[in-house]
Structure 1
Amino acid sequence: MATPLTATRLLKALRDEGLVVHEVRNWRKHNRNSKGPWGPVNGVMIHHTVTKGTAGSVDLCYDGHPNLPGPLCHGVIDKKGEIHLVGNGRANHAGLGDRDVLQAVINETELPPDNATDTDGNRHFYGFECINLGDGKDPWPEAQKLAIEKVSAAICRAHDWTERSVIGHKEWQPGKVDPRGFTMDTMRGRIKKRLAKAAEGSAEPGGKGEDTAGSPPPPKPQHPPYEPFPGSGFFHAGARSAVITAMGKRLVAEDCGQYKSGPSPEWTEADRKSYAAWQRKLGFSGRDADGVPGRVSWDRLQVPHS
């Protein structure tokens, strides 16, 4: 049994596992805690959405529908393997399931058949919805399966759980078939192998979203072909560097330049506006597109070494 992760700790755990994570609206305070307890938590439950398309699926999981208010999970895993956090706390995803299955998860032993609906799963499980029609025909891209593996491993690491703390909805509640298209035994095998190694490192910095300060990567013995991310704290009024000039030139090349003159070595409002245009081009929005570089957007810009 464990105390649920705070929003900040959950976000850090996912990013430390090398995942790209998007924060959706007011996810940090979006929950169903007024309808029942949240925690102690005992495991991770994987679902499929029976939908297609990222934007609509994420909105559905955030808002829910008249008969089942959102959030319908804690995060949505899209076909590209990116994570969209939609809730923090109790979520309407697991429903009633088998007490014996919960006990097996707690004990991290072999799962029994799920043949009862006598236990509140929304209290005890993190839930992740994977975008898939669930018809047995809709493919599961490897990037999406890798993200399921990483999400599960990240939470297991945070709670010192093994892969046996990860189950599918179909293993919890009689009559459920999700996730359909791969076996949970195979996925648990992947998670076990990942947990045997150290986390691969952050795909993006922790904090408010895509673009928060991250620690600069350690120096390398040889210059890399592109500038390593210097940390968002590097970009502030008065900062001067050839790196800023090189960044500006790349932004112009990507048709994101908002410069009347330049770019120049000094960080200016024009740089911020240009970088915000780049973030929006990548699909970020809100605080994730505030014009302050973050690791994901920086790596994708491929600023030449200066």
Structure 2
Amino acid sequence: MNNNHSVKTSGPNGAAKAKEDDVPDPFIYRLHTTRLDRLILVVMAFTLGPIKALLTVVFLALAWIPARLSVIGLPLQPDEPLSKWRVALKDVAVFLAICASHAGGLMVRKIKGRRARDDEATLLVLAPHASYLDPVVGLLCGLPGAVSVLDNAYIPGIGAIFRACQSIFLDRNDPQSRIKTADAIRRRAESKGAWPQVLIYPEGMIGNQTCILPFRLGAFQPGVPIQPVTVKYPNRLDVTTWLDSGPSLLAMISLWMCTPVTRMEVEFHPVYSPSDEEKTNPELFAQNVRSLMTQYLNIPTTELSYRDMSALVKRSKPKVGVVKLWKSILTKGYIEMPDKEHFS
């Protein structure tokens, strides 16, 4: 277990923070294609794309069965960990869900480092949160618990998988939900291995991989060792980013299905043990871990928040579905959302 105290013990974001004017906007989606790119997309749309989509749906449907059985008779957020027979069913669901991601063309090119044992770190924090494919990292970890928005629990098919991993659900419409979520994270962090590890997206929202958004404090309030996990999508065409201010989820998945191979790189970094000061100051703990992760990724931080993104969505009113996205790509060769006039 390593104490990573090469970062600052005071100050907002460490040396990795760039001047705000120089930081890319994390809520813009851009995709520029060449003629060859467009040809490949069209050919895939009429050949392998539908087959990939069908196989992905079939494997997800198969994964739903053991996932649903593993939580049958249980409330949305059980008070006790899953029993052994339920865990066995969950493991079957994990295998089938991984098959679904491979059927869609996702290739995990590199896995660096070692996932910490339960006794080394109960909490895993992942950044940047940039894609609808990020949950695959959880699958690679054997599907630990995760902190997720409540809406995900009710997604047909996939919702059962979120429940099977004993996720902690955050209801953004409940003013008390953040307090309840923080308490649930603390209980699991202090459970001494009774609960599975928890994978947390500390940004609490999705950006476009160009910078790291502000960290929320839930993962850092217990003051226990955490393991930073970083993920990259080193692909020439960005078909994995899904922003509230960009094309719809179905539109982005249609591009993914029509891309021959999508690459992902995951790295498990050394466990970060908080100092005495950080244990009593979650904000400092979060700032230092965030600074360390910017060094790992070599990208800046930004202070733009969920409120900024919500305001942008309200102004731009993005309504780009499958047909509109493909029309823009095939006729103009690119898509950029939101348009520049929506920025104030």
TM-score, normalization by structure 1: 0.28
Please identify which structure carries the higher helix content: 2
Q: Greater relative contact order (Cα 8 A, min sep 6): structure 1 or 2?
A: 2
- Larger Rg belongs to: 1
TM-score, normalization by structure 2: 0.26
